[in-house]
Structure 1
Amino acid sequence: MQIIELLTPHYEAAWLPWAVQYFFLAGVATGGALLAALCAWGARGSLMRRLLPVAVLTLAVSVIAAPVSLLADLHQPARFWHFYAHFTPWSWMSVGALLLPVFVTLGVAFIASWWLGRGGWMRALAPLLVLSALSITFYTGAEMMVIRARPLWNTLWVPINLALTGWLATVGAAFVLERFLPATLRPGAAALQLLRGIGLALAAALVLVALAWAGTGMAGLNRSFDEALRLFRDFPVWRLAMLGSAVFGAAVVGALLRGRHRLGATGYTLVLGLGLAASAWAFRWALFMGVQGVPKFGAGLYLYHMPLGGDGLMGMLGVAGLCVALVALASWALELFPARQDAAPARA
């Protein structure tokens, strides 16, 4: 009997959980920017205009928390300076170092113009904010799409899926955050129904994109689909991550479909919103961390164990704590210094 021993070197994960937090919050921020810009052009007293305060609050929390996650993912915050001192235009990370400060600046300026009641400034900033949000959406997706060593990522469908799931998480975050607004700024049940409609439209777009991805794969036009089937068949770590993400996402979308007459219940919107956000986060975890559990080439597994320190669990809890602190600070500020932007009273 011949015994053959296979040795596989141990590799650390290239993308740490910090990256999951950053890509999640960046998706929420771009969705919040698009929603806020759209609401800014809504007629005074319209349902879209009544969604503006919660869209601004969603944007405020995510546009501040996302860059913090990025700096943490770089391990050394001073490393950010290298992107400017040694600019490399062929690197999406280097390009993103230029795009992200513009987006954050425009987001903060938009929030300030709403708070100060400068409707003209707010509407003037809205188109610039939309363009900047789309640039962040494309750059974050391109960072993964250009990695040829991972055929699952090396496809245009990845940026599209990241965008749609991120914007669906924005809807979920808005459902959660609207309860922290002062009573005069809460949108009311009718506006929440409109927000639910936006969520359903995004969910439908995700289904169509998934069908198109599978269709092009079966037609031999998409390597990513074949790679997903191979990973699902051969690697339990990917199978478990993807099945869990898909089942959880389907359950949340089902709750969104059946929630037409329940949006007035505060507990229901809270659970629904958290579920939508969590499903988008779980998709990113499967895409980033689950895929890194399988080898790029050859045999073996790249075993990843969640560290308990800053690079793992504590870092994730720290980002969650930062978001909670920002929500609390914004709620306190709105109570103490009410926004001067027009806001229709909440109506059923």
Structure 2
Amino acid sequence: MDFSFVYEIQHHAAFGPLIVLYFFLAGLSAGLFLISALSTVFGWQAVKPLAKPAALTALAVLIPGLLALVADLGRPFRALYLFLNVNPSSLMSWGSFILLFYGLVCVPYIWFLWRDQEKNAKTWGKVGVVLAISLGLYTGFLLAVVPGKPLWNSALLPVLFLVSGCVAALSLISLAKKAFVQGGAAGAAYESALHSLKVWFVVLEICLVFFHLLTVYFLSGLGELTVMNLLAGEKAFTFWAVQIVVGIVAPLILLSLKQSPYSMGIAGLCSLLGVFALRYNFVYGGQELPAAGTQLYHQGGGIEWLSVLVLLGLGVVLIVTLPYLSQRLLHPTSSKSISG
């Protein structure tokens, strides 16, 4: 008698679409703040015209990211628990305060930037840089410390999330060129600077993905199965087709060709899709356990993906409207460009 059975176990996905969106938008916000600080804090004058719009956009994309995080909790007031019950040994507790202080610092930094008070903006910018780097790293650390998830258990993951967040920020600037980049010689100067910077960040992202997966592959037998599940299993399409081909290969080809507004915009959109796919592949792929079945179950998945689209739409609206609202509030009689 044959007593062999095949089991397909459904695992509950603790981190779903809203967390993927939160990781994506938090990294994007951190990257945009760092780009803004390149001139105000680090003195790179070639990219100074980006300081104001990048800072505003950092705040604009942070808002739907925070809403995604609160919505994932199910009961919004549960978020207060993390602030009322401080646990120094909990990375999530640290992350809550990083998010809080980062958001608070963004406000005076943007205020002083738009009031052209460079000294005060630089002071707040220095604090913001530390918090932005912490925010970019934190989302990766949150996954890296979870036991029993080989795809997450590497010290390279936080760095990968920070670097890919910077790639996403540079890509958004390329995509929304009219909102960020002025024409003329000054515009051409920092377009060229950001073009070179993005190429280096994309190359660094490739290296980090490769060495992260290599580390996990040789970590253990389960690590090998998890990586192979990503490369040739459940997540193979989104990994190879979206994250690698669309998100990395296509932008590098476009960036190597003669620059034009259309090619840069397409390259930016492709890179944004690739970074989102990276978050999706690592969040979901890390929760799949090939040794015990690969089916993931997440309650309310369809509704949550709809929420992701709504929050992304909110982010687009805020990106478009915040610069104009800030211009009217802080300089009501000025006709100067919002990017200036």
TM-score, normalised to structure 1's length? Answer: 0.84
Q: Write the distance in 2 (CA, Å) between the matches of 1:90 and 1:84.
A: 14
Deviation, structure 1 residue 306: 9.0
Question: Does the C-alpha gap of structure 1 residues 345 and 307 become closer, same or farther in structure 2, counting only changes over 3 Å?
Answer: closer
Aligned to 1:302: 295
Which stretch has the larger CA shift, 192-201 or 332-341?
332-341
Are 1:28 and 1:62, in contact at CA under 8 Å, matched by a contact in 2? yes
Q: Write the distance in 2 (CA, Å) between the matches of 1:182 and 1:143.
A: 35
Deviation, structure 1 residue 52: 1.9
Are 1:54 and 1:177, in contact at CA under 8 Å, matched by a contact in 2? no
Query: What SS is found at the alignment partner of 2:10?
Result: coil
Q: Write the distance in 2 (CA, Å) between the matches of 1:253 and 1:128.
A: 33
Pairing 1:180-329 to 2, within 5 Å after superposition: 180=179, 188-213=187-212, 226-232=224-230, 236-244=233-241, 245-259=243-257, 261-263=258-260, 265=261, 267-292=262-287, 294-295=288-289, 298-304=291-297, 309-311=302-304, 313-329=305-321
Q: Write the distance in 1 (CA, Å) between the matches of 2:225 and 2:37.
A: 38
Pairing 1:51-66 to 2, within 5 Å after superposition: 51-66=50-65
Matched, 1:147 2:161: no
Q: Which runs of 5+ in 1 are unaligned?
A: none
Question: Does the C-alpha gap of structure 1 residues 241 and 178 become closer, same or farther in structure 2, counting only changes over 3 Å?
Answer: closer
Question: Does the C-alpha gap of structure 1 residues 240 and 215 become closer, same or farther in structure 2, counting only changes over 3 Å?
Answer: closer
Question: Does the C-alpha gap of structure 1 residues 232 and 114 become closer, same or farther in structure 2, counting only changes over 3 Å?
Answer: closer
Question: Does the C-alpha gap of structure 1 residues 307 and 47 become closer, same or farther in structure 2, counting only changes over 3 Å?
Answer: same
Pairing 1:119-158 to 2, within 5 Å after superposition: 119-158=118-157
Q: Which runs of 5+ in 2 are unaligned?
A: none
Deviations 1:275-298 (A, max 9, x none): 111110011111112333x327x4
Higher helix share: 2
Are 2:9 and 2:294, in contact at CA under 8 Å, matched by a contact in 1? no
Query: What SS is found at the alignment partner of 1:237?
Result: coil
Aligned to 2:160: 161
Are 1:252 and 1:279, in contact at CA under 8 Å, matched by a contact in 2? no
Deviations 1:156-207 (A, max 9, x none): 1111111111110010111223313596899622211111111011112223
Identity %: 23
Q: Write the distance in 2 (CA, Å) between the matches of 1:262 and 1:183.
A: 16
Deviation, structure 1 residue 208: 3.1
Q: Write the distance in 1 (CA, Å) between the matches of 2:289 and 2:249.
A: 31
Deviations 1:243-263 (A, max 9, x none): 22222223233234324x324
Are 2:213 and 2:227, in contact at CA under 8 Å, matched by a contact in 1? no
